[in-house]
Amino acid sequence: MIGGPGRDGAARGGSGQDDPGAGAPPAVFAEIAEHWRPEPEAAEEVLSPWPAAALAALLGADPPAEDGGALPPLWHEVYLRDRPRIEDLGEDGHLLGGPLLPPIPRRRRMFGGARIVVHDPLRIGERVRRTSAVRNVRARHGRSGWLLLVTELHEFEAGGNLRVEDERDIVYRMPDDVRGAPAVRIGVGDASGPAAEGPAAGPILRLEADERLLMLTSALTYNPHRIHYDRDYATGVEGHPDLVVHGPLLALEGIEAARRIGGRHPDRVDYRLIATAYQGAPVDFVEAQPASATSGPGSDSIRTEADSVRIEGWQDGRRCIRLDAAWNGDVSPRG
pLDDT tier, 108 (very low <50, low <70, confident <90, very high otherwise): confident
Where does residue 292 fall: left (phi above 0), alpha (psi -120 to 50 degrees), or beta otherwise? Answer: alpha
The DSSP letter of residue 31 is: H
pLDDT tier, 3 (very low <50, low <70, confident <90, very high otherwise): very low
Alpha helices in 74-163 (DSSP H): none
CA dihedral 9, 39, 118, 95 (to 10 degrees): -140
d(C-alpha 175, C-alpha 267), whole Å: 38
Percent of the chain at pLDDT > 70 equals 78
Residue 191: the pLDDT is 40
d(C-alpha 226, C-alpha 238), whole Å: 10
- Average pLDDT score, the chain: 84
What amino acid is encoded at 267 in this protein? D
d(C-alpha 192, C-alpha 243), whole Å: 17
Residue 172: the pLDDT is 92
d(C-alpha 251, C-alpha 77), whole Å: 11
In order of their start, the domains of the chain are 1-193 (3.10.129.10), 195-209+245-335 (3.10.129)
Longest dimension (CA), the chain: 59
The DSSP letter of residue 175 is: G
This prediction's pTM: 0.84
pLDDT tens-digit readout, 181-234: 444 443 333 444 444 566 667 899 999 999 999 999 999 999 999 999 999 999
Contact 131, 177 (CB under 8 A): no
The separation between CA 93 and the C-alpha centre of its own chain, rounded to angstroms, equals 18
The DSSP letter of residue 10 is: P
Alpha helices in the chain (DSSP H): 27-35, 49-59, 211-220, 231-236, 247-262
pLDDT tens-digit readout, 255-268: 999 999 999 999 99
Mutual angle of helices 211-220 and 49-59, in 10-degree steps: 160
